[in-house]
Amino acid sequence: MRTTVRLDPEVLAAAQQLCREHHIGLGEAVNRLAKAGLAAADRPRRTPFTQRTADLGLKIDVTDIGEVLELLDQYDAEDRTAGDAEAAG
């Protein structure tokens, strides 16, 4: 069927790129893009990502990042001290 359509600039650019890559006419390129869009619409949508969480029993307030980093540094220092004591022992 022959008809006149107005294409958005980005659609025209995609169709022209398809023409260059596959050495086809503009009508064929628009048809391929439309069919690809229809096929994509038929695919089931992916379920949205949800973050799984678990209670680890930690009792720290993570809203203050500076405080959390200081606490982690303190734990690292304690681990190093304990490791040094075991190595010397």
pLDDT tens digits along 10-26: 999 999 999 999 999 99
Look up the pTM and report it. 0.48
Q: From residue 27, give the alpha-carbon distance in Å to each of 24, 40, 43.
A: 8, 20, 25
Residue 4's Cα: distance from chain center in Å? 38
pLDDT tens digits along 45-68: 788 888 888 887 767 677 888 888
Label residues 73-87 b or e (16+ Cβ within 10 Å = b): eeeeeeeeeeeeeee
Three-state DSSP class for 77? helix
